[in-house]
């Protein structure tokens, strides 16, 4: 018998003799770990147990290697996409039991692959994420360079002495930024107009100052719940808007027991301010505003703590065009132009006061649309969104109304190859709880805009993590600038849709939560954890 045959025979004897010993070692390990483990029969037949008996240290190393490989093999078998899905599922599982409805979709902009979906086609209340459709449609219909004009007209002759024998008309076309947002104070634009008219020789207006907002319809309050009517974010929507159509009141304490001090910016006689607020020594004091009488006044009530800093309150005016006309009349007076008549809005017919064929004596051109939509998406400014919605309705010929603007946006949805059944538009801001959209529709919109001619102004309008306040809760979670998005928030709806820069891919995503109970903090935490996974992808 050859040496090779003798070696094989001896090995087979050792294998038979030492089988029990090797399994006893495996059993000991199994018992100590508390886990069920079986030695693979194929490895037994190949002599592994004999090797464990004859070369004990190598046997231990081999066994541990087998155990280690078996424990990591499932993780290694997961694709990058599957691992992301498991992590997001795990995060969303934290909300189980509270009946929160989630709709989530994540798509790679680089490959087009869908990386994650949960109820992607479920129609949800999107809150302010609807502004993404409004602003995208505005870029589609109007273009980023679109501007509008506020014009000033005379409806009578001006004498050699500078006396206008008629009315001075301020005609608005939906400029949302006649305010102090981009100037040093709210009245800057009106002061420029007054200075121009004075330079043309105007010294007196014998008639009235008329605020003409007939460019849009006369439905000022949107399709919203009455509970919002006294809130600044539900400001009345007028083609002639001033100072976000709100009066700004600063309430300061005096001595306990005395009236609180109130200042108004800008100061104006409309609306009239009634001060019923007092100062208290209690820390629990609070102040609030309510409408007075026929809407021509606002009433400040409550108590403010004597050691508290000033509190600023914003209240929507009932007639934006009267508000603008009043402030402009007062601006004219300060510039030395006397107005014999009054400030007024259009009558109930809502017909324009501008004579046919009249030429403006002064015009102010708005900022371009690319700047307007930054206020809408970065600051989530509702009035500006609604003004843009009606502007879209006017320019697209669907009509300068809430309904006309909504129809124009839905028409854009179809033009962008987005499933029209997945989007229901009722307003431009998302304040209406009748709006509906799916997470998939938002991702479709984001993908369309990413490759469109308006990609740059659209992206620049979104809130940047680390820069803009509306996404400040994400700043401690993800790197600055890694997410560009639009937030959304209502009583029972939280949404976030936008773009995320992952480690290797650019992503478009939409996260919507509806019907949750309790405060929004926990829902936002879950949302933020998902965002962290996206930027690490």
* Per-residue model confidence (pLDDT) at position 231: 96
* Poorest-pLDDT segment among 30-39, 95-104, 185-194: 30-39
Burial string for 362-397 (b: 16+ CB within 10 Å, else e) reads bebebbbbbbbbbbbbbebbbbbbbbbbbbbbbbbe
322 pLDDT more than 70:
yes
3-state secondary structure of 510: strand
Average pLDDT for 11-24: 39
Q: Chain-centre distance of CA 67, in angstroms?
A: 50
455 pLDDT more than 90:
yes
* Per-residue model confidence (pLDDT) at position 406: 98
Choice between 25 and 351, residue whose per-residue pLDDT is larger: 351
H or E segment and range at residue 91 = helix 80-92
Average pLDDT for 461-477: 97
* Per-residue model confidence (pLDDT) at position 517: 86
* Per-residue model confidence (pLDDT) at position 394: 98
* Per-residue model confidence (pLDDT) at position 294: 82
Q: Report whether 457 contacts 370 (CB < 8 A).
A: yes
Tokens of 266: 């800008």
177 pLDDT more than 70:
yes
335 pLDDT more than 50:
yes
**382-384-388-394 Cα dihedral, nearest 10 degrees:** 100
* Per-residue model confidence (pLDDT) at position 190: 98
* Helix ranges (DSSP H) in 416-513: 439-450, 455-460
* Poorest-pLDDT segment among 21-25, 168-172, 406-410: 21-25
25 pLDDT more than 60:
no
| pLDDT level of residue 248 (50, 70, 90 thresholds) | very high
The span from the CA of 382 to the CA of 403, in Å, is 16
> In the sheet that 362-365 helps form, which strands lie side by side, from edge to edge?
343-345, 209-212, 168-171, 149-154, 362-365
- pTM of the shown model: 0.85
* Poorest-pLDDT segment among 74-78, 264-268, 498-502, 520-524: 74-78
| pLDDT level of residue 44 (50, 70, 90 thresholds) | very low
Angle formed at CA 234 by CA 232 and CA 238, multiple of 5 degrees: 105
The span from the CA of 512 to the CA of 527, in Å, is 9
| pLDDT level of residue 55 (50, 70, 90 thresholds) | very low
DSSP letter (8 states) at residue 229: T
* Per-residue model confidence (pLDDT) at position 48: 36
Choice between 29 and 76, residue whose per-residue pLDDT is larger: 76
* Per-residue model confidence (pLDDT) at position 96: 72
Mean confidence (pLDDT) of the chain: 88
3-state secondary structure of 422: helix
DSSP string, 132-143: HHHHHHHHHHH-
14 pLDDT more than 50:
no
| pLDDT level of residue 77 (50, 70, 90 thresholds) | low
């Amino acid at each position: 018998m050859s040496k090779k045959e003798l070696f094989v025979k001896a090995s087979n004897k050792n294998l038979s003799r030492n089988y029990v010993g090797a399994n006893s070692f495996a059993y000991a390990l199994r018992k100590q770990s508390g886990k069920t483990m079986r030695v693979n029969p194929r490895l037994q037949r190949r002599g592994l147990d004999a090797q464990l008996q004859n070369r004990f240290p190598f046997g231990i190393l081999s066994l541990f290697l087998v155990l280690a490989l078996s424990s990591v093999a499932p993780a290694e078998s997961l694709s990058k996409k599957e691992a992301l899905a498991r992590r997001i599922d795990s995060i969303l599982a934290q909300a189980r039991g509270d009946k929160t409805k989630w709709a989530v979709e994540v798509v790679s902009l680089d490959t087009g692959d869908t990386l994650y979906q949960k109820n992607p086609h479920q129609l949800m209340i999107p809150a302010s994420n609807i502004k993404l459709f409004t602003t995208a449609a505005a870029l589609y219909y109007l273009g980023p360079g679109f501007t509008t004009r506020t014009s000033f007209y005379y409806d009578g002759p001006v004498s050699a002495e500078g006396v206008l024998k008629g009315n001075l008309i301020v005609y608005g076309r939906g400029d949302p930024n006649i305010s102090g947002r981009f100037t040093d104070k709210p009245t800057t634009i009106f002061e420029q107009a007054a200075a121009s008219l004075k330079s043309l020789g105007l010294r007196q207006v014998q008639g009235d100052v008329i605020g003409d907002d007939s460019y849009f319809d006369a439905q000022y309050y949107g399709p919203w719940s009455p509970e919002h009517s006294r809130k600044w974010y539900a400001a009345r929507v007028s083609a002639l808007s001033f100072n976000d159509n709100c009066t700004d009141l600063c309430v300061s304490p005096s001595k306990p027991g005395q009236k609180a001090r109130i200042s108004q910016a800008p100061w104006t006689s409309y609306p009239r301010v009634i001060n019923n607020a007092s100062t208290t020594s209690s820390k629990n004091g609070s102040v609030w505003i309510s409408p007075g009488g026929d809407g021509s006044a606002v009433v400040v009530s409550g108590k403010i703590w004597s050691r508290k800093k000033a509190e600023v309150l914003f209240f929507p005016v009932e007639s934006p065009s009267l508000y603008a006309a009043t402030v402009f009349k007062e601006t004219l007076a300060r510039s030395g132009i006397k107005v014999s008549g009054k400030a007024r809005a259009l009558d109930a017919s809502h017909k324009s006061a501008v004579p046919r064929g009249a030429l403006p004596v002064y015009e102010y051109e708005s900022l371009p649309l690319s700047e307007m939509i930054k206020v809408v998406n970065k600051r989530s400014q509702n009035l500006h969104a609604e003004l843009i919605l009606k502007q879209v309705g006017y320019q697209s010929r669907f009509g300068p109304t809430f309904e006309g603007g909504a129809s124009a946006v839905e028409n854009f949805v179809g033009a962008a190859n987005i499933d029209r059944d997945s989007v229901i538009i009722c307003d431009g801001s998302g304040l209406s709880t009748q709006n509906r959209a799916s997470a998939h529709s938002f991702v479709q919109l984001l993908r369309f805009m990413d490759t469109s001619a308006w990609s740059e102004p659209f992206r620049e309008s979104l809130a940047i993590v680390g820069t803009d306040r509306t996404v400040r809760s994400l700043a401690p979670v993800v790197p600055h600038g890694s997410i560009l998005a639009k937030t959304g928030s209502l009583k029972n709806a939280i949404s976030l849709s936008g773009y995320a820069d992952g480690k290797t891919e650019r992503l478009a995503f939409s996260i919507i939560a509806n019907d949750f109970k309790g405060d929004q903090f926990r829902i936002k935490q879950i949302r933020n954890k998902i965002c962290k996974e996206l930027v690490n992808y």
